[in-house]
Homo-oligomer: A and B are copies of this chain.
């Protein structure tokens, strides 16, 4: 039996401490008996001039090899998660693989939108409108419903249980995903 591979998706590759964070995630994976697969060859990015096509091809190869994804869906440069990470989460779901995700920010999506796009107005059909005149999803979720609901069969988007935000590179909730995976009976995806 081969060790199950976990694709370590997230904006972590953009962090100043990317190499350390991804090494720590790999070490945590190993502690739980999994093989952590970072989405970018960190050595490549540090030493060469990769192009977008080669990074995509390498990431895709890792995604195909991985059995599941644990995505860092902490809001990144705006009200939502990093879009590359969201693409990868959708890819795993579409490919029929297991999906886990966490966010180190506690506030629901609509509260973050309301703060960034105030004032909020009432629209038709009981919808709330942001100051861009467009509707706000109001489901109390951590991000767009496609993201949150894709994670529901495995326990939903993991957010801070104590409602206290954590730094984007904090690994407590990443480890919480590993624990859930460890305890789960790995049900078939919906």
Contacts and interface: CB of A to CB of B under 8 A. Distances in A.
Contact of A45 (B77, B116, B125): B125
Contacts of A133: 16
A86 to B, nearest CB: 5
A116 B77 contact: yes
A169 to B, nearest CB: 10
Interface string A57-96: 1011001000000000000011111111011111111110
A53 interface: yes
Contact of A14 (B52, B56, B134): B134
B84 A87 contact: no
Nearest to A60: B190
22 contacts: A45-B125, A52-B137, A52-B148, A52-B149, A55-B145, A55-B149, A56-B145, A56-B146, A56-B149, A56-B150, A59-B146, A77-B116, A80-B80, A83-B83, A83-B86, A83-B143, A87-B147, A88-B90, A88-B146, A91-B93, A93-B94, A94-B94
